[in-house]
Structure 1
Amino acid sequence: MPSYFKVYACLCSLLPIGVVATVDFNTCLRQVRNGEWGSIGGTDNTGHRVSNISEATAITYDLCLVACGAGSEPFDWNIFSQQFSAWLLPYLALVSQLPFGANSRLDNIVSMLLTMGSPTLAAYSLALTVLNGHWIAQRFSPLNYPNVRNAVRILSSLQQASFQVTRDEALLASLIVLPENDEWWSELVIWLNFVHTWSISAVASILWVIIAYVFTVVDSFSGVVTYSTLNANGQAVGSIFLWLLPIVVGWLQLSPKCDYDRVQQALKRANTIAYVATPDGKPTPASDISGKRAISLQRGAGEIHRDEQSSAPIYNYARFLPWTLAVEDVYHAFREASDKSETHQPVDSPSEWEKGDRNTRICPQNRRGSLAQVAAYIKPTVEPGTSYAKGRSRWGPGVLSRFLLASFLALFLTWGTVGAAILIAFFTPTKGIACRSGSYLIYGIISTLVWILLATSSALAHYSTFTVSFKGRYMHTKSTRWAGIFAIILRRLGKVLASINAVWIVLACLFQFGSFFDRCWCNSSVFYLGKHAYNVIDVTRDDVAALNEPWIGGVALASGCAILFLGGVNVLINPALPD
């Protein structure tokens, strides 16, 4: 046999593969109705067998495999481009409006994958940030001491930074008590007053998503529904990504200080004008004493606390506990100074309290003293015959209530939007959990799992910092060492799952628009119906009318959860600051 005949024979042998790779279900149903595949296997659109095969509008899964094949319908560019540009592309463009600001591109990419792969974690970090801002304002509200208001604004702005508070050498006491440091507080507020907020591109992206969502929803109800457009319809896709809208809007309203370089420069500039008390009572610039500062960015925290070092706002979940403890250190110092000033106790205790005027409630002279006096001014007063042995919580006050509320809001938004997508896909013929609804379910489950893993990792990382005192030395125990190891493992596992989940949901949408899911196994809901699986091919008017309720319910559920979440965030944004 000549060689070209061999090549021709090989090409002919590949033709059946091409035929099997794509199917036409409408042609397949026509052949079944004509009796080309026998008289058994035809059903109506509820799965009941029909007595006359010519009246079949659906076929059983077994007959579908035999008559139509296991492949998918051919790719239709017109349907794909319309559905992709209407339902998915606006959301992908909206991702660019998320706040990043980390000092490395890799951290920014990972933060984007974390957001896309776990909307639960993204919503949790946003809700936690808002709750923290509300909590700190309430926490400091009873205090009445200079710079309390600025302290609340500064500490709230530093939620995106891993900062530390140094209490030794009277650095914190000097920063709070000495009038020479009033400029430090006021200037740092100004230098931290840069915002990631509304821009023309952000408004355009948000309006694009809203208008595209409204128009496509209206069009999906008023347009002509066919078998191809029904299975490629993006109703569920529009709902499953709707969580992104309140997340972006919420961050734009909060304007997080997530630019690492600018935060670092702001603190560095402020610390150049910081003063500390001296033994002789004359304040001196802190730079003349040492390189330490009362409030500074933390560096070199190790692999366990790596996420705390990244300034992207989604990592606020990792900074939640250490941030709370740092705030508590500042709060207790301000509280003691406020209590002593209320009873007219000057820093220099032998001196008399000097009355202030209308513009200055506490006279600066009352806030001056020696190093020992300044340090003692922020320490609790011990009554004669008593001892002060009560230690502070190493987890921080109010962390459980804020964690629970933030978790509820995050799960509410996630499963409100993902659940709406599952609802829409579930009731689209053939009803049941299949490739489309199953993909959304997997996305929601992994999103929640990633949040659980990373939230647990942050708690273990914080626990790993606990030490015990032994012969004057602070040491880690076996349990804290293991906690650090498990924190790293859970964090890496969570990030890997989030990255896979982000790619998975985009591919699932592309598979839906590109007819990849239009195959017997997916369209017959085999996973849900089992041996009773069937494939609805001829969509009737009654089927389309029956879709209105779940489609309207899905749109209402997703939109309602997004609006309620954003409403809850707005209730807590911009709390009243102390006077």
Structure 2
Amino acid sequence: MRRFFVLLSISSTLLSAVFAAVDFPTCLANVRNGLFGTVGGRDNHGNPVDISNATAITYELCLTACGAGPEPFHWSVFSQQFSSWLLPWLALVSQLPFGSNDKLDNLDSVLLTIGSPALAAYSLALTVLNGRWIARRFARFTYPNVRRAIRIFNNLQQAPLRVVKDDALLASLVVLHQNDEWWIELDVWLNDTHSWSISAVTSIAWVVIAYVFTVVDSFTTDLGPSIQANGQAVGSLWLWLLPIIIGWLMISPKCDSVRLSSMIERANGIAYVATDDGNIILARHSGTEERAVELTIVEVDPLTRDEKCTAPIYNYARFLPWVMAVEEVCEAFHGASDHSYNHLSVDPAIDWVMIDRNQQPHERNRVGNRRQLEEYCRPLRAREIRSRWGPNVFSRMAIASSLAMALQWGTAGSAIVVAWFTPTIGLGCRSASYIVYAVLSTIVWILLVSSSILTHYATMEPLNHWEQPVKDWIIRAARLTSIFLRRLGKTIATLNSIWIFISCMFQLSNSYDRCYCNGDVFWLQGRAYNVIQLVADDLAGMKGAWLGGVFLAAGVVVIYVGFVWVRRFVQ
């Protein structure tokens, strides 16, 4: 019985909302007839006019004459706007790269992407910049397998990478000719993927065609009766998803955790390592479980949880650890290249076998014991003290941040412009909801990038013995702060993704079409007024703003996709 009364109460509330719906054209006609007095008439710029000529009314008169409720819900208008402006984007979300075995982790990555397009764009831009950086970083080295190393470690950006130098594991992998097969096989396996599927191309084409057609249709049809439910702003707001999907398809990220682990395990099964007496044995027979290149996908520390997730959006969390791992490999190739260039064998007792300069060193010059291999992988010239952050990381972070902000605020700004210049001109419920979305997206990006920096600081050991150890309480504070920022950022991202979906539904279903929202009350305050009937000048100015919004959103999308294409293919 109690449940019955609750349902009855809810039903009566919904029915009262339906019957309290506002018919603004009828309301304006009653106002013009003088049913509510002769004060409160306005033109569409907020100037007082005779009530019989009014096309707009003050907010106070709107409440008195029309009520505080929204316009009635029209299924035909909603279904058309929803299927044209929002549904294609929701369908395109399925083309985002995932990779985790845990469905909840995949859901988290979707909510994080929708809740913070800035973070998604930042991770993608970092991935592209890293590919360019590693190619230039290794360009001067001439030792065998260096080109394969570039491709392999570039493809492992989506993996929680760990490089082990102990017991000459890394030196053996770089120098020993027996390990050439390791580099060849892993390079082939990692590049044996094809991401441009028919499904992906069809989804992208559908979204692009739907967006173009609906934009053209919005400029060529009469929008008077459904002007506030028009999805022009909604379409521009979601346009960021297009370059993110296209960018990841260009890169083809290797993010399937099971497949990645299988590839590394198979490759490590044929890896060789040198012993103290100079014998070369399979690494799996060396008595240790460690390998030169490992993946630490299993989560053992909550501090590095995001780093373990292989979805590409978490590349922001793997950026600094990945750079440090690549630097270890870079140093090994640097030392081996220096010694090879000077015709020095791994074992000093073995004479250098003269071959053509363009050929690989002879196999005899690439064998030795464990100590000799470790010494061979040290550069001949003393190197500067390595930074705990890695080379050029902050310049890449700055470039990626600029691109992320441009894409986020370019698309959101387009939506804001469209809503702002749709009469009544000013900051209303629609434009404010888009600003909230973009601001929260930016906050999430700041929180999670800050968390990744603190995580790296808390986990990175000092590189020099003479460096003063960091006090334990500072490390603990960094750990706790990092975990707090990460959880806070992901919570805000989840709420933001729910918020923008609800906001778009309100936009398309006329829920925002009420006196308060149409009058831009919290922006105009006491000067608030509601435009009810559009005139020719309004349509011209409004469509000009819409056109500017479309060009703004399309422009930042083209710039971002162009950046990814140039950096990805012109290396």
Matched, 1:500 2:495: yes
What is the one-letter code of the residue matched to 1:155? F
Q: Which residue of 2 aligns with 1:554?
A: 549
1:195/1:256 contact within 8 Å kept: no
Q: Which residue of 2 aligns with 1:6?
A: none
Following superposition of structure 1 onto structure 2, how do residues 482-497 of structure 1 map, counting pairs within 5 Å?
A: 482-497=477-492
Provide the C-alpha distance between the structure 1 equivalents of 2:134 and 2:205, rounded to a whole number of angstroms.
Answer: 33
More deviation in 141-150 or 193-202? Answer: 193-202
Matched, 1:312 2:285: no
Picking from 158, 161, 166, the partner of 2:159 is 161
Q: Which residue of 2 aligns with 1:545?
A: 540
1:103/1:311 contact within 8 Å kept: no
Distance apart, 1:476 and its partner CA: 6.3
Distance apart, 1:477 and its partner CA: 2.1
Matched, 1:437 2:431: yes
Provide the C-alpha distance between the structure 1 equivalents of 2:325 and 2:265, rounded to a whole number of angstroms.
Answer: 18
1:18–1:450 Cα change, 3 Å: closer
Q: Which residue of 2 aligns with 1:264?
A: 261
1:99/1:196 contact within 8 Å kept: no
Q: Which residue of 2 aligns with 1:142?
A: 140
Following superposition of structure 1 onto structure 2, how do residues 382-461 of structure 1 map, counting pairs within 5 Å?
A: 390-461=384-455
The CA deviation string for residues 286-314 of structure 1, in whole angstroms up to 9 with x for no partner, is 11112110000124440000000000000
Matched, 1:517 2:516: no
What is the one-letter code of the residue matched to 2:169? L
Q: Which residue of 2 aligns with 1:4?
A: none
Following superposition of structure 1 onto structure 2, how do residues 187-226 of structure 1 map, counting pairs within 5 Å?
A: 187-195=185-193, 197-226=195-224
The CA deviation string for residues 433-491 of structure 1, in whole angstroms up to 9 with x for no partner, is 10100010001000100000000000001011134699999886211111110110000
Q: Which residue of 2 aligns with 1:324?
A: 323
What is the one-letter code of the residue matched to 1:437? S
Matched, 1:37 2:36: yes
2:338/2:380 contact within 8 Å kept: no
Q: Which residue of 2 aligns with 1:385?
A: none
More deviation in 528-537 or 281-290? Answer: 281-290
Provide the C-alpha distance between the structure 1 equivalents of 2:41 and 2:170, rounded to a whole number of angstroms.
Answer: 80
1:165–1:473 Cα change, 3 Å: farther
Q: Which residue of 1 aligns with 2:5?
A: none
How does the TM-score come out when normalised to structure 1? 0.93
Following superposition of structure 1 onto structure 2, how do residues 94-105 of structure 1 map, counting pairs within 5 Å?
A: 94-105=92-103
User: In percent, how many aligned pairs have the same letter?
Assistant: 55
Find the residue that maps to 1:273 and give its secondary structure.
coil
Distance apart, 1:504 and its partner CA: 0.8
Provide the C-alpha distance between the structure 2 equivalents of 1:19 and 1:215, rounded to a whole number of angstroms.
Answer: 33
More deviation in 546-555 or 299-308? Answer: 299-308
Distance apart, 1:361 and its partner CA: 2.7
Provide the C-alpha distance between the structure 2 equivalents of 1:150 and 1:323, rounded to a whole number of angstroms.
Answer: 17
Distance apart, 1:21 and its partner CA: 3.1
Distance apart, 1:15 and its partner CA: 11
Following superposition of structure 1 onto structure 2, how do residues 40-55 of structure 1 map, counting pairs within 5 Å?
A: 40-50=39-49, 52-55=50-53
Provide the C-alpha distance between the structure 1 equivalents of 2:469 and 2:439, rounded to a whole number of angstroms.
Answer: 41
Distance apart, 1:356 and its partner CA: 2.6
What is the one-letter code of the residue matched to 2:556? C
Q: Which residue of 2 aligns with 1:285?
A: 282
Provide the C-alpha distance between the structure 1 equivalents of 2:204 and 2:46, rounded to a whole number of angstroms.
Answer: 43
The CA deviation string for residues 139-172 of structure 1, in whole angstroms up to 9 with x for no partner, is 0001000000010111001100001000010000
Q: Which residue of 2 aligns with 1:253?
A: 250
The CA deviation string for residues 503-531 of structure 1, in whole angstroms up to 9 with x for no partner, is 11111111011110000000001111110
Following superposition of structure 1 onto structure 2, how do residues 4-83 of structure 1 map, counting pairs within 5 Å?
A: 17-18=16-17, 21-50=20-49, 52-83=50-81
Provide the C-alpha distance between the structure 2 equivalents of 1:19 and 1:275, rounded to a whole number of angstroms.
Answer: 75
Distance apart, 1:397 and its partner CA: 0.5
What is the one-letter code of the residue matched to 1:502? S
Provide the C-alpha distance between the structure 1 equivalents of 2:345 and 2:358, rounded to a whole number of angstroms.
Answer: 19
Matched, 1:570 2:565: yes
2:338/2:379 contact within 8 Å kept: no
Number of aligned residue pairs: give it.
559
Provide the C-alpha distance between the structure 1 equivalents of 2:309 and 2:243, rounded to a whole number of angstroms.
Answer: 23
Distance apart, 1:359 and its partner CA: 7.7
1:216–1:165 Cα change, 3 Å: same
Provide the C-alpha distance between the structure 2 equivalents of 1:204 and 1:520, rounded to a whole number of angstroms.
Answer: 42
Find the residue that maps to 2:150 and give its secondary structure.
helix
Provide the C-alpha distance between the structure 1 equivalents of 2:83 and 2:16, rounded to a whole number of angstroms.
Answer: 32
2:345/2:366 contact within 8 Å kept: yes
Q: Unaligned stretches of 5+ in structure 2?
A: 1-8
1:251–1:27 Cα change, 3 Å: same
Provide the C-alpha distance between the structure 1 equivalents of 2:194 and 2:547, rounded to a whole number of angstroms.
Answer: 35
Where does structure 1 differ by over 6 angstroms across 4 or more consecutive aligned residues?
Answer: 13-16, 469-476
The CA deviation string for residues 176-209 of structure 1, in whole angstroms up to 9 with x for no partner, is 0000000000001112124351111111111111
Q: Which residue of 2 aligns with 1:7?
A: none
Matched, 1:347 2:346: yes
Matched, 1:530 2:525: yes
Find the residue that maps to 2:239 and give its secondary structure.
coil
What is the one-letter code of the residue matched to 1:267? I
Distance apart, 1:350 and its partner CA: 2.2
1:286–1:472 Cα change, 3 Å: farther
1:521–1:472 Cα change, 3 Å: closer
Q: Unaligned stretches of 5+ in structure 1?
A: 1-9, 383-387
1:245–1:68 Cα change, 3 Å: same
Find the residue that maps to 1:464 and give its secondary structure.
helix
Provide the C-alpha distance between the structure 2 equivalents of 1:517 and 1:15, rounded to a whole number of angstroms.
Answer: 16
Provide the C-alpha distance between the structure 2 equivalents of 1:336 and 1:486, rounded to a whole number of angstroms.
Answer: 39
1:114/1:499 contact within 8 Å kept: yes
2:427/2:523 contact within 8 Å kept: yes
1:204–1:418 Cα change, 3 Å: same
How does the TM-score come out when normalised to structure 2? 0.95
1:138–1:186 Cα change, 3 Å: same
1:539–1:19 Cα change, 3 Å: same
Provide the C-alpha distance between the structure 1 equivalents of 2:523 and 2:194, rounded to a whole number of angstroms.
Answer: 46
Provide the C-alpha distance between the structure 2 equivalents of 1:565 and 1:548, rounded to a whole number of angstroms.
Answer: 26
Provide the C-alpha distance between the structure 1 equivalents of 2:194 and 2:83, rounded to a whole number of angstroms.
Answer: 28
Distance apart, 1:575 and its partner CA: 4.8
1:551–1:464 Cα change, 3 Å: same
1:198–1:28 Cα change, 3 Å: same
The CA deviation string for residues 41-72 of structure 1, in whole angstroms up to 9 with x for no partner, is 0101110011x211000000010011111110
What is the one-letter code of the residue matched to 2:237? I
Provide the C-alpha distance between the structure 1 equivalents of 2:506 and 2:102, rounded to a whole number of angstroms.
Answer: 33
Provide the C-alpha distance between the structure 2 equivalents of 1:88 and 1:393, rounded to a whole number of angstroms.
Answer: 47
